Structure 1
Amino acid sequence: MRILHTSDWHLGRSFHRVSLLDAQAAFLDHLVATVRAREVDAVLVAGDVYDRAVPPLSAVELFDSALHRLAEARVPTVMISGNHDSARRLGVGAGLIGRAGIHLRTDPRGCATPVLLSDAHGEVAFYGLPYLEPALVRDEFKVAKAAHESVLGAAMARVRADLAGRAPGTRSVVLAHAFVAGGRASESERDITVGGVASVPAGVFDGVDYAALGHLHGAQTLTERVRYAGSPLAYSFSETTHRKTMWLVDLGPGGEIEAERVDCPVP
């Protein structure tokens, strides 16, 4: 199965008071063109679709256009909310939109309910873990300490439990929005530190075939199976040396991973 992994669109963001909407529109044109040209089977958006909880109308219109074009291309899309998004607003109408193949995962209670897609080798289970603010989801996951590692670990325990009950050979992909240890930050990410500790170990994603991460704005590989797509545009001067890309990931019949970086247009 061929997957296009992207994240951190931050629609509606400006750069030192200069609107980036045209550049973001050009990126989304490129994304849709890549989906068609490279015969992508699923698009993943790992959070921070918008730059703020109440985005400007122009950003909402751009997002709406992107959803329509992906639906018209008949390529399933799975996206999660990030720490910049309003999970409730982004998730409005998720049930209805899901019928068009656009699967919005914004509710932590649904983290162990996957989107199931199939190819010639069987099913792939896509688990969407929206950004988990520890203080807000502590009770849901019944953890003793409101910390990123504990809530994300509890969410992944639910994912593994669901996966264990599925047919042998079912492949798995997790989308998550978090600061994973070993990742390189830039100046444009919002701090998510809680109690002085922001990062979680990459091992929290053990047991799944691929973890599609969002939050950090530089594309990077933490392990073969744990990767950040990064933002499609530079949102700070600290990103001047970044190569902005998406990951094109081929998931083999036994969970094998082959990954290629697809360059984004540079305004």
Structure 2
Amino acid sequence: MRILHTSDWHLGRSFHREGMLTHQAAYLDHLVEVIDGEEVDLVVVAGDVYDRALPPVDAVTLAGETLERLAASRARVVVTSGNHDSARRLGFGSRLIDAAGVHLRTDPAGVGAPVLLEDAHGAVAVYGIPFLDPHAVSSAWALEAASHQTALGEAMRRIRADLAQRAGARSVVLAHAFVAGAAPSDSERDISVGGVARVPVSLFDGVDYAALGHLHGAHVLSDQVRYSGSPLAYSFSEAGHRKGSWLIDLAADGVRASEFVPAPVPRPLARLHGSLDELLGDPSLDEHEASWVEATLTDVPRPAHAMDRLRRRFPHTLVLGFDAVATPFDVRAVADHGRDDRAVAADFVLQVRGVPATSEELALLGEAVDACCDDTSTDAEPAVVGGAVP
């Protein structure tokens, strides 16, 4: 059986205010092409179909069109909900949609009920574990503690109990979780409970293939346990990621072969660091002129109109930052309420920009301070009526 493992589409998400729906649609076109070209038998989508519980209408439309195309393909499809999805909304009509060969698994109560497939070697049981909020399932499942490890451990216990009744069946498990051994990026939402989000990879021992979602980088925790990562970058911390999907060949004795299928890249990411003149004049940076750019400038003082000047060379600059300047800001001086407000404002300019304010700027700051702070009147004491404040 040939399996295509994908996750974390985040339909409807933007990238620093840059719309991504067109690029997400291009990835889904690519996905359908891979199914046909690689003769895929099973597609598994391990959560975060949408970016938020109430996705925009055009994202819902794209998801609906994609599921329709997947249903018409040669593959069976199993989809689980992630922490960004509304499980109820994503799972609406799941029993009806099952008949089309697309299986939406969003209800924790059904984790032990597999989607059953057959190949030349026999049965394959596919178990979809939606994102499990420990607080939401701890009472229903009588968990000893509301933690990710206990919740996912109970889900796997139910799966193993069902699998024990299916002699010779191979198993595929979808899970949306933070599994130890993989590194997060800046674009994932924190799912920690009590400061603990990670679960051990040993929870998936004995499973023929575990298709993980949640982390946006592709990770191989073992031959049997992998993250596909998101198909597109959603933060500059993912500049070094490979984006795509896993193509897994499941033989009679488990995973026989694996291949990472790269996704189409709408625009590469670049993180540039240096002075403004260096970034504008360095010929080695020519390759990034078509990239989405995050620029961090080291100039002291901060140059005027830096973003406009950067975008003349790098028109897709999305983020501009500055290294901390050498001049420290005396927080204790700010805390001294007896200190002159004009002096505090002048020190703030020095801390932010790295050079003192000019005389003209000091005059403007003085006017601003006077406009905000010149009212020396105080509220009158409230009248006391009948011994109580009205």
Residue 55 of structure 1 corresponds to which residue in structure 2?
55
Q: CA deviation at 1:195?
A: 0.5
Residue 18 of structure 2 corresponds to which residue in structure 1?
18
Give the distance between the partners of 1:256 and 1:266, measured in 2 at CA: 28
The alignment covers a number of residue pairs equal to 266
2:185 is paired with a residue whose SS is coil
Q: Is the 8 A contact 2:40 2:74 kept in 1?
A: no
| 2:136 is equivalent to residue 161 of structure 1 | no
TM-score (norm 2): 0.68
Larger gyration radius, structure 1 or structure 2: 2
Q: CA deviation at 1:257?
A: 3.4
Give the distance between the partners of 1:235 and 1:256, measured in 2 at CA: 30
Give the distance between the partners of 1:132 and 1:30, measured in 2 at CA: 30
Residue 112 of structure 2 corresponds to which residue in structure 1?
112
2:221 is paired with a residue whose SS is strand
- Counterpart of 1:245, as a letter, is G
Alignment of 1:215-226 (within 5 A): 215-226=214-225
- Counterpart of 2:185, as a letter, is S
Q: CA deviation at 1:196?
A: 0.8
CA deviation string 1:216-244 (max 9, x = no partner)? 00001011111000000000000011110
CA deviation string 1:140-176 (max 9, x = no partner)? 221110000001001100000000011x221000000
- Counterpart of 1:21, as a letter, is L
Give the distance between the partners of 1:220 and 1:140, measured in 2 at CA: 32
TM-score (norm 1): 0.99
2:140 is paired with a residue whose SS is helix
Residue 123 of structure 1 corresponds to which residue in structure 2?
123
Give the distance between the partners of 1:257 and 1:156, measured in 2 at CA: 23
Give the distance between the partners of 2:178 and 2:112, measured in 1 at CA: 21
Q: Cα RMSD over matched residues?
A: 0.7
1:97 is paired with a residue whose SS is helix
CA deviation string 1:197-218 (max 9, x = no partner)? 1100000011210100000000
Give the distance between the partners of 1:49 and 1:235, measured in 2 at CA: 14
- Counterpart of 1:231, as a letter, is S
Give the distance between the partners of 1:186 and 1:142, measured in 2 at CA: 33
Q: Is the 8 A contact 1:141 1:155 kept in 2?
A: no
Residue 258 of structure 1 corresponds to which residue in structure 2?
257
- Counterpart of 1:79, as a letter, is V
Structure 1 stretch displaced more, 65-74 or 32-41: 65-74
Residue 138 of structure 1 corresponds to which residue in structure 2?
138
Give the distance between the partners of 2:256 and 2:46, measured in 1 at CA: 18
Q: CA deviation at 1:72?
A: 1.0
- Counterpart of 2:197, as a letter, is A
Moved over 6 A (4+): none
Any unmatched runs of 5+ in structure 2? 267-390
Q: Is the 8 A contact 1:6 1:247 kept in 2?
A: yes
Residue 205 of structure 1 corresponds to which residue in structure 2?
204
Residue 230 of structure 2 corresponds to which residue in structure 1?
231
CA deviation string 1:79-111 (max 9, x = no partner)? 100000000000000001110000000000000
Q: Is the 8 A contact 1:3 1:249 kept in 2?
A: yes
Identity fraction in percent:
64
Residue 77 of structure 1 corresponds to which residue in structure 2?
77
- Counterpart of 1:258, as a letter, is A
Give the distance between the partners of 1:74 and 1:90, measured in 2 at CA: 23
1:140 is paired with a residue whose SS is coil
